[in-house]
Amino acid sequence: MKHKLFILSLIIIASILLSGCWDRAELQDLDLVSAIGIDEGGDNVENRYRVTVQILNESQLAGAAGTPDVLQRSPVTTFSNTGSTIAEALRKISSKSPHELFYPHVRLMVIGEEIARKKGIEELFDMIERDAQFRTLFPVLVVRDNTAKQLLQVTTPLEKVPTEKLVGALETTKKVWGEYASASTRADQVIKQLGNNVANLAGVQINGDPEKGNRLTNIQQIAAKTNLEIKGIAIFKNGKLKKWLDEDTARGVTWINNEMTKTVVDLSCDKKKKGVAIDMMRSKSKIKVKIKNNKPVIDLRVRAEGHITEVQCPIDLSKHETFEKLEKKLEKEIKEEVFMALEAAKKQKSDIFRFGEYVNREDPKLWKKIEKRWNDEIFPETKVNVTVKGFIRRSGLRTKTYSR
């Protein structure tokens, strides 16, 4: 009898403790937040931050394509408010939203350039890392020359949800172009880098008039007058934005950090500047540190392989000597991009390449002595030896050029 009462008691206790529906929320009672933007609110402490959320219009996204209702309503909407803290600003937005804001589906975080330069971004991630609703796997972008609020209000073609357009463009740019692969875009990566007082984030730019982009007519044209573009790498030091790296300099960072997947390198030929396009298919970078006279010396080796994808010069691709000349030019071009990135980082006294980690592995005792002086004193004066080996494997289906 006692055994039966004991089992019955366990069943009753388990049914109470294991009940999983006590905090349930119906989907129709939630507003799904797809993106969050943070800008400077003002000089007043009471409105230090301006926070904007982009909310999905579920009924619009699930509606039948081509119906009048779909054409008249936006698939997303934004709400914005200010506060002394980000948490306060988000709670204030609840007075504008018809339902409770739901954050686990946040796909993107954007930060205005003004707040990134003036106040920095170190304090922006505290609430996001503490709150269990947020997953720190979403990318973080810096808005160039505009506010995060303006960016989240721009409609985009091809993708109904602007957030999906940006996330997709970021991933495609990394895989195909390689210019911004080294930018630590994920929130957890940014938080980790900020602990080292340096960070680099990818940028996003509004091309066109933001006000015109905040209209459905913007995407009802073959060529949208306002669009969004992933552009540049933002270098941060002590949490604040210091400099933008673009084009070849930004790609140099990717070469150094061994994150290059694919890209196109244009080479000059005898009579035409940048007349040969090399499609890079493989790349490998290795970093080694040597300690000489109690100072670190960094050896960087880059090995890159590609094939010729376009020729606009009268060169003979049937000769082995032609390939050798192009390989030398390829090595020179990659080396120039690497040195441009090194020079920019040293000038800003920001080790965005994580060379310090290699020094620590090679000589932990020396690193303890120089760690606090690394970015400001040691890194800008550290010698970096660069060796590049370039290989061109194929010329494509043609061996003769149209110019010949």
CATH no. of 247-404:
3.30.300.210
- Work out the average pLDDT over 249-253: 92
**3-class secondary structure, 27:** helix
Lowest mean pLDDT among 145-149, 217-221, 397-401: 397-401
Rounded Cα distance between 167 and 162, Å, is 9
What pLDDT does 64 receive? 46
Of 15, 244, 39, residue with least CA distance to 151:
39
What pLDDT does 28 receive? 64
Residue 129 Cα to chain centre, angstroms: 18
- Give me the half-sphere count of Cα atoms (radius 13 Å) on the Cβ side of residue 252: 23
Q: For the purposes of burial, counting CB atoms within 10 Å of the CB of 166, is it exposed (0-12), middle (13-18) or buried (19 or more)?
A: buried
List the beta bridge partners of residue 306: 280, 392
Convert the pLDDT of each residue in 303-343 to its tens digit: 999 999 988 888 888 888 889 999 999 999 999 999 999 99
Task: Report which secondary-structure segment, H or E, holds 345.
Answer: helix 320-347
Q: Assign residue 239 a region (left: φ > 0; alpha: ψ between -120 and 50; beta: otherwise).
A: left
Q: For the purposes of burial, counting CB atoms within 10 Å of the CB of 276, is it exposed (0-12), middle (13-18) or buried (19 or more)?
A: buried
Rounded Cα distance between 80 and 93, Å, is 6
Alpha-helical segments (H) within 258-319: none
Lowest mean pLDDT among 13-27, 35-49, 251-265: 13-27
Convert the pLDDT of each residue in 189-213 to its tens digit: 888 888 778 888 999 999 999 999 9
More confident residue, 401 or 384: 384
C-alpha distances in angstroms, 261 versus 173, 332, 346?
Answer: 10, 19, 25
- pLDDT tops 60 at residue 404: no
What pLDDT does 62 receive? 66
* Segment of 5-19, 65-79, 197-211 carrying the highest mean pLDDT: 197-211
Q: Residue 282: what residue type?
A: R
- Work out the average pLDDT over 134-141: 90
Rounded Cα distance between 20 and 305, Å, is 55
- pLDDT tops 90 at residue 134: no
**3-class secondary structure, 327:** helix
Q: How many CB atoms lie within 10 A of CB 15?
A: 9
What pLDDT does 16 receive? 61
Rounded Cα distance between 230 and 183, Å, is 11
Of 400, 258, 236, 234, residue with least CA distance to 334:
258
- pLDDT tops 80 at residue 397: no
What pLDDT does 70 receive? 45
- pLDDT tops 80 at residue 82: yes
- pLDDT tops 80 at residue 10: no
Q: Residue 328: what residue type?
A: K
Lowest mean pLDDT among 65-69, 165-169, 203-207, 389-393: 65-69
Instruction: Kindly state the tokens that stand for 162.
Output: 């602007």
Question: What pTM was computed for the model?
Answer: 0.86
Q: What are the residue boundaries of the structural domains of the chain, listed by start?
A: 28-245, 247-404
More confident residue, 18 or 110: 110
